[in-house]
Amino acid sequence: MKHTIGILGGMGPAATADMLEKFVALRRASCDQQHIPLIVSSIPDIPDRTACLLSGGPSPFHSLEQYLHMLEAAGAECIVIPCNTAHYWFEDLQAVAKVEMISILDATLNAIPDGVSCVGLLATDATLAARLYQDKAAARGMTLIQPEREEQAQVMQAIYALKRGDKTAAEALLLPQIRQLAARGAQAIIMGCTEIPLIVAGHEDAFSCRFVDSTASLVRAAIRWYESWPDTRAACALPQYAHA
């Protein structure tokens, strides 16, 4: 396998499965052989990122490093992580990685449409507290707005509702927060937690603002990395069948 991409997932499993589906949907391919070669780690025992950063819980770094090296040993030449909060440790992981890594933060900010100056941010408490998006956005001249304290509590409840498989509850909790951000002037919403696109799916047309899917943004960046290699452009050959 050439130019295989490793997915360091499991945070959570539904978000990892969503990334796999988006690799298939977003890659322009006319046969199996033109799709992206992927190796997936979806081992969900990685300690909770938010609990670590905000409540002194166990660090996920050692698990992330272990599974990163497992993907490298399996043949991955580039690593993506479908979890925004885990990018708090991105630079530390990059320092120990032997292969390339692509940041979900940079990929998402690069995907914000031209002309959008006010962007809403939906993310975990830890992603917000660590300013993973805010500082990068400010350096680009963007204004980010986020839910107020009570509304942010609803966002977190929605994320954990989705993680436990209750999408109906997640929608009821999250969709009003999107309306609030749009009413405050957000022209686009960063779905800065990889569970959020799963909650919003099917409701996009109900809002006047645009959505920037962090998972899809990372997948597109990874596909561009793959397509940058000249030997990934081989055409599909139709199989020849013998006739009786």
Residue tagged active-site, from 52, 78, 193, 209: 193
Query: Which is it for strands 100-101 and 118-122: parallel, antiparallel or unpaired?
Result: unpaired
83 assigned to active site: yes
Burial class (CB in 10 A: 0-12, 13-18, 19+), 140: exposed
Measured distance CA(156)–CA(27) in Å, rounded: 31
Residue tagged active-site, from 31, 52, 78, 83: 83
Measured distance CA(151)–CA(94) in Å, rounded: 34
Measured distance CA(75)–CA(123) in Å, rounded: 32
118 assigned to active site: no
Catalytic residue positions?
83, 193
